[in-house]
Amino acid sequence: MLTGDLDTTNMWLAIMAIVSLLEALVLIGMGIAGFLVYRRVMQLVNDLEVRQVAPLREKVDAILVDVKAVTASVNQQTTRVNHAISGTMERVDETADRVKGSVRDRINQAIGMARGIRAIVMSVLGHETRHEPPAAAAGRV
């Protein structure tokens, strides 16, 4: 009776060993399949990068170079325009000051001549009114 129990136990141990070996083989197979899938996916990603991403990257790099060149040119032109505007504004200010001074001098000459003519006319006509300076006359009003 003891040998019958050992035969049954040995049979069950053999079945369990075979099942464990099959499980190990299935796990090894799944590991190999997972590695093969990973390698294939990485190959697809690399191919996609070579075919699609690399040309796009080259185009984007070329566009960035063009943008940098345009930006540098715009900055240079902006600097030139700023200098030109500053120089023009300085010249306009100088010209305005000269015109203002010139107009003021001519107006003063015209006023002086008008006062002189008035004084001559008044003295010829014989009116000897006392002429007060404009500032004093304006203060009395």
| pLDDT tens track for 35-50 | 999 999 999 999 988 8
Q: What is the pLDDT of residue 141?
A: 44
d(CA 101, CA 106): 9
**3-class DSSP assignment, residue 111:** helix
| Average per-residue pLDDT for the chain | 86
Q: Give me the amino acid identity at 124.
A: V
More confident of the two residues 4 and 105: 105
Give residue 36's pLDDT. 97
Q: How far apart are the first and last CA of the chain?
A: 151
Domain range annotation of the chain: 2-128
pLDDT at 85 over 70: yes
- Residue found by looking up tokens 């796009």 in the block: 56
Over residues 115-141, mean pLDDT = 69
Predicted TM-score (pTM) of the model is 0.41
Q: What pLDDT shows up at residue 1?
A: 46
Cα distances (angstroms) measured from residue 81 to each of 4, 29, 74, 76: 108, 73, 10, 9
Percent of the chain surpassing pLDDT 90: 42
What are the C-alpha distances in Å from 48 to residues 10, 38, 41, 120? 56, 15, 10, 104
Confidence of residue 119 (pLDDT cuts 50, 70, 90): confident
Q: 32 by DSSP, 3-state: which?
A: helix
